[in-house]
Amino acid sequence: MEFFVTLIQVLDSTIRLATPLLLACLAGLYSERAGIFDIGLEGKMLMAAFFSAAVAAVTGSVWLGLLAGIGSSLILSALHGVASITFRGNQLISGVAINFLASGLTVLIAQSWFKQGGRTPSLFGGGRFEPIEFPFAEALSGVPIIGPIYSELLSGHSILVYVAFLMVPLTWWVLFRTRFGLRLRAVGENPAAVDTAGVSVVGLRFAAVAICGVLCGIAGAYLATALQAGFVKEMTAGRGFIALAALIFAKWRPWHAMWACLLFGLLQAIALRFQNIDLGGVVIPVQVMDALPYILTVVILAGFVGKAIPPRAGGEPYVKER
Amino acid sequence: MDKMPKWADVVLIPLISLLLATILSALVILAIGENPIEAVNLMVTGALGSTYGWGYTLYYATNFMFTGLAVAVAFHARLFNIGGEGQAMLGGLGVAMVCLYIPWPHWSIALLGAGLAAALFGAAWAAIPAYLQAKRGSHIVITTIMFNFIAAAFLNYMLVNVMRPQGSQDPATTRFPEAVHLPTFQSMFSTAENVVFRGAPANISFFVAVLACVVVWALIWRTRLGYEIRAYGHSETGAVYAGISPVRITIVAMLISGALAGLMATNNVMGEAERLVLNSTEGAGFIGIAVALMGRSHPFGVFLAAILFGFLYQGGAELALWTSIPRELIVVIQALVILFTGALDNMVRMPLEKLFLSLRKGAE
């Protein structure tokens, strides 16, 4: 029974930790499916985390915070779009620049506004996303097995967690069942064909980059206003890159992205809870857990366990023929 | 015919990009309620106003020369090595092992041994991404990013579980023995009555970095291998027709790149800290990207850009000390430099090309 309680707790924290990964991963999915590589997920999340916490702290409203987070992330997205679509610059270099920009600007502005060493004041009350209790969660918690699963695991998360997981079927539907999705995927594989069909490549790519910005914004806001209570320096802690790893792991498919993010979330949850794991004499150090998402991604990229093939036109600026 | 003269490409475009980055940085300083002119004054006196300031500026510049060269060599083969950070971390591990476990008689031999170990460890860390890119087509940018994180976890493990001395809480190795301490600028240039560079970390590895710039220049423009690397970078299909093996060039270029990044450890680990600590690289691997872009991947450009960034780092530290502007201002400036010289290059280039074309038409 004690094992079961621990299991539920670990899975519960898996869901919390997987949520920002999932949002960022789906953000990257839209962008990369449209042929725009985005290694600036980390920076956009960080920027959104800061602005959501800052606005929530000042106004006391977490919803205004969420809007500010999405807005700031969209501005960075626009920068990425201008650099990589309009001026046909190197998408990877643009992503690197965006990461540094966010890393520097957040601390700079935080210090200038709040003077607390690069952090925002702690959020409380309406400044945070509160957990949502499902109906009858309290009453059912006594029921064996089903009770804890319903009341602990599924119920009691903030609304953004449910939004993130609902985004998975929505993304699948948009990408594979709508005209917009078909065009978006086509523009990442063969932009010339899309252009010939009379659809704007530039427009589609900007749309994809904008969706990416919105989702990164939600991810950042979740970090600062739901998972934690306020912004601290470098709080994304490489999550943008783990999301990128998950995206490759999932081979750019929405449902697989969810499972990849849950797996990487589970690794984080285990590392948080157990530190070094003793498996009957063999000790797995906590650093292995930290490095595992990256190692798994390299293995997948190497193509030893099924090959990860990115969208064909990914990373290449589109030049109209004259 | 070229669209514009060479000097415009090599000098004018980087200068305009730098100017744009400077203007935006000044606006950022204004926006947080500080005076940009005063800030520049503080930075200049702090970084260049004394031999002490220069000692720090050149110390940082040494790091950036190594990592900048690393990125530049890879750029010539049209490979984007973001893994300089991880390769430099591993270089530090190599230096620490060599310095701690081998009894060196004199620092000069130790520097050779440590340099060799640093280059080997750095190259080894670049080897797997290089192999995967060359043989399996795994995108080198993603694999080198992943290897940065794996390196950080690995170094953390080595320092916490293996190399930490007994009874110490600090995840760091013991101090290196006296015999491997490198001569600092203070001991090299001070006379009995006039002490210069007092307490500054600049050391003899600065000259190793300058030498590395010369060697890389000779390698890229004066050897067959360098020619092959450049040919491959210009056109893969063209290189294949000329009998150049893409697999070989990819791997060799990345090994050289990794070795250069690893060599940075002779400066920060052996020359300055004299022990291996967590996060000893302090992001220098990433600054190499900005330095290489700014220096147009030419060793002399890298040399100048590294000194510029050394100045920014030391000046930024002084700013943080005397004003309420945090050190992160430098990260913002670095981002703007990468943005304008790298990603938004065409924004400056396209109008300039048009301008030169119309000037030429007017002259005819």
Does residue B26 sit within a domain? Answer: no
Residue B184 lies in a domain: yes
Least CB-CB distance to A83: which of B145, B161, B343?
B343
Contacts of A178 (CB under 8 A, 6+ apart): none
Distance from CA of B161 to the nearest CA of A (A): 9
The reply to whether residue A93 touches residue B338, judged by beta carbons under 8 angstroms, is yes
Asked if residue B274 is part of any domain, the answer here is yes
Confidence at A155, pLDDT banded by 50, 70, 90: confident
Q: Which residues of B touch A248 (CB under 8 A)?
A: 142
* B153 SS3 class: helix
Using 50, 70 and 90 to split pLDDT, how confident is the model at A321?
low
Contact B154/A111, CB-based, under 8 Å?
no
- The pLDDT tens digits of the residues spanning B270-314 come to 999 899 998 888 889 999 998 998 888 999 999 999 999 999 999
Task: Inspect the interface and report whether the beta carbons of A294 and B328 lie closer than 8 Å.
Answer: no
Contact B343/A94, CB-based, under 8 Å? yes
The mean pLDDT of B314-340, rounded to a whole number, is 89
Quick check: B153 and A89 CB within 8 A?
Answer: no
pLDDT digits (tens, 9 = 90+) for B91-144: 999 999 999 999 999 999 999 999 999 999 999 999 999 999 998 888 888 899
How far does A247 lie from chain B, in Å, by closest CA?
11
Q: What is the CA radius of gyration of chain A?
A: 20
Q: How far is B197 from chain A (nearest CA, A)?
A: 30
A220 pLDDT above the threshold of 70? yes
CA atoms of B324 and B320, how far apart (whole Å): 6
Phi and psi, residue B213, nearest 5°: -60, -45
Nearest-by-Cβ selection for A97 from B80, B324, B339: B339
User: Considering its fold, how many domains does chain B have in total?
Assistant: 1
Q: How confident is the model at residue A306 (pLDDT cuts 50, 70, 90)?
A: low
- Identity of the residue in B28, B132, B289 whose CB atom sits nearest the CB atom of A301: B132
B154 is a domain residue: yes
Residue B241 domain-assigned?
A: yes
User: Mind giving me the DSSP string for B213-271?
Assistant: HHHHHHHHHHSHHHHHHHHHHH-HHHHHHTT--HHHHHHHHHHHHHHHHHHTHIIIIII
With respect to residue B183, please indicate whether it lies within any of the assigned structural domains.
yes
Distance from CA of B359 to the nearest CA of A (A): 23
Whole-number pLDDT of residue A286: 83
Higher pLDDT, A49 or A139: A49
**Binary contact (B28, A112; C-beta < 8 A):** no
Residue of B nearest to A115 (CA): B324
Looking at residue A138, its pLDDT comes to 75
Q: Among A72-76, A282-286, B180-184, B355-359, whose mean pLDDT is lowest?
A: A282-286
Residues A102-122: what's their mean pLDDT?
90
Average pLDDT for residues A13-31, to the nearest whole number?
A: 95
Which pLDDT value is given to residue A251?
87
3-state secondary structure of A279: strand
- What integer pLDDT is reported at residue B343 of this predicted model? 85
Cβ-Cβ contacts under 8 Å between A and B: the total is 153
Residue B170 belongs to what domain range? 63-196+207-299
**β-strand partners of A278:** A283
**In the Cβ-directed half-sphere of A132, how many Cα atoms lie within 13 Å?**
11
Q: List the domain boundaries for chain A.
A: 2-236
| Location of structure tokens 């953004």 | A160
Is the pLDDT reported for residue B1 higher than 50? no
Q: What residue in A sits closest to B330 (Cα-Cα)?
A: A104
| Interchain CB distance below 8 Å, A100 and B286 | yes
Q: B333 to chain A, minimum CA–CA distance in Å?
A: 8
Burial of B93 (0-12, 13-18, 19+ CB in 10 A): buried
Which tokens sit at A37?
Answer: 């590589």
Minimum Cα–Cα distance from A292: chain B residue: B150
Please report residues of A whose CB lies closer than 8 A to that of B80: 90, 92-93
Q: What is the pLDDT of residue A74?
A: 97
Residue B361 has pLDDT above 70, yes or no: yes
pLDDT score of B176: 92
pLDDT of residue A103: 94
Q: Which residues in chain B have Cβ-Cβ distances shorter than 8 Å to A310?
A: 139
Cβ contact B149–A238 (<8 Å): yes
What is the H or E stretch that residue A283 is in? strand A282-284
Nearest CA in chain B to A298: B143
The residue type of A166 is: L
Q: Are A17 and A29 contacting, i.e. CB atoms less than 8 angstroms apart?
A: no
pLDDT of residue B12: 87
Q: Least CA distance to A238: which residue of chain B?
A: B149
> Mean pLDDT over all residues of chain B?
91
A93 vs B343: CB contact, 8 Å cut-off? yes
Partners of residue A284 on adjacent β-strands: A277
Subunit contact B289:A89, Cβ cutoff 8 A: no
Q: Mean pLDDT over residues A203-208, rounded?
A: 95
Give the C-alpha separation, A78 to A63, whole Å.
Answer: 22
The CA distance from B150 to the nearest CA of chain A, in Å, is 5
How close does chain A come to B184, measured CA to CA in Å?
32
Tell me if B153 and A301 make a contact (CB, 8 A cut-off).
no
Query: Is the pLDDT reported for residue A296 higher than 80?
Result: yes
Which of A38, A98, A294 has the most B C-beta neighbours within 10 Å, making it the best mutation to test the interface with B? A294
What's residue B191's pLDDT?
84
Higher pLDDT, A109 or A278: A109
- Cβ distance B146 to A39 less than 8 Å, yes or no, reads no
- Say what the pLDDT of residue A132 is: 84
Decide if B328 and A118 are in contact by the 8 Å CB cutoff: yes
pLDDT in tens, B154-176: 999 999 888 888 888 888 898 99
Rounded distance between C-alpha atoms, residue A35 and residue B128, angstroms = 26
Q: Which residues of A touch B171 (CB under 8 A)?
A: none
Whether the per-residue pLDDT at B250 is higher than 60: the answer is yes
CB contact under 8 A, A100 and B150: no
Q: What is the pLDDT of residues A236-281, one digit of tens each?
A: 988 999 899 899 888 899 999 999 999 999 988 888 887 667 777 7
The pLDDT score that the predictor gives to residue A290 is: 84
Is B149 close to A89, i.e. CB distance below 8 A?
no
Is residue B74 scored above 80 in pLDDT?
A: yes
Structure tokens at A240: 């943008």
Q: Is the dihedral of CA B207, B209, B210, B216 positive or negative?
A: positive
Task: Note whether A94 contacts B342, CB cutoff 8 Å.
Answer: yes
Tell me which amino acid residue A212 is. Answer: C
Interface touch A87/B289, C-beta < 8 Å? no
Alpha helices (H) in A82-200, listed in sequence order: 91-114, 137-140, 146-148, 159-177, 179-189, 191-196
Contact between chains at A303 and B343 (C-beta distance less than 8 A): no
Look at A39-43, A270-274, B322-326 and tell me which has the smallest mean pLDDT.
Answer: A270-274
| B180 domain residue, yes or no | yes
- Pick among B344, B345, B350, B352 to test the A interface (most A CBs inside 10 A): B344
Nearest C-alpha neighbor of B60 from the set B332, B316, B322, B301:
B316
Share above pLDDT 90 across residues of chain A, in percent, rounded to a whole number: 56
Share of chain A above pLDDT 70, in %: 96
Asked if the Cβ–Cβ distance from A298 to B146 is below 8 Å, we say: yes
Measure A108 CA to nearest chain B CA, in Å: 6
Residue of higher predicted confidence among B11 and A166: A166
The whole-number pLDDT of residue B363 equals 76
Nearest CA in chain B to A290: B153
Put simply, the answer to whether A104 touches B330 (Cβ < 8 Å) is yes
In this predicted structure, the answer to whether residue A184 has a pLDDT above a threshold of 60 is yes
Distances (CA, A) of B317 to A178, B23, B185, B199, B320: 53, 20, 20, 16, 5
Give per-residue burial for A289-301: e unless 16+ CB within 10 Å, then b: bbbbbbbbbbebb
With bands split at pLDDT 50, 70 and 90, how would you rate the model's confidence at A322? Answer: low
With contacts defined as CB-CB under 8 Å, which chain B residues touch A291? 149-150, 153-154
